[in-house]
Structure 1
Amino acid sequence: MKASAIPHSSSRRFQVRDISAQYGWPTFDLVFHDAESSVVRYSEAIWDSEAQALVEAERLEASHACPVHWEAS
């Protein structure tokens, strides 16, 4: 699975991940790099375009969100 970094900063905590292969059509989710807990978390929501997922990632980043309820690995 390919994760594309959000542009403009290497310190971003959120990335968009292309999970289209699992669904058979364009599908993206978000990856949250939870440094505080030393885990990677995956969003419950999915989007049908990378642009939509990027907008949500930017929103979460700007609000300093910490979605600890997302599934961790």
Structure 2
Amino acid sequence: MYQGDKNTPEFREYGHYTRNEFSNFAMRLGINRKRSDKIMDHLVAGRNAAGKLLDQAFVPEEVKNIIRYYFNERLMRLK
């Protein structure tokens, strides 16, 4: 995302970006902390709506489970 972003303790430990890195990136873009927190909270809150859409998708259940797994894994990074 920006120079030095992979040198954070979270990235070194987990190998992926976490809420902290996204918050730092937002601050670099000029978005205040309170606003960036609201944006990330809104994304996490959309989990149920996304799940309902996935339930209605015309794909095999096995594929739905794979999508759910990766979707939830990425959402957990924002918590």
- TM-score of the aligned structures, taking structure 1 as reference length: 0.29
Q: Which has more strand, going by share of residues?
A: 1
Q: Which has more helix, going by share of residues?
A: 2
Higher-Rg structure is 2
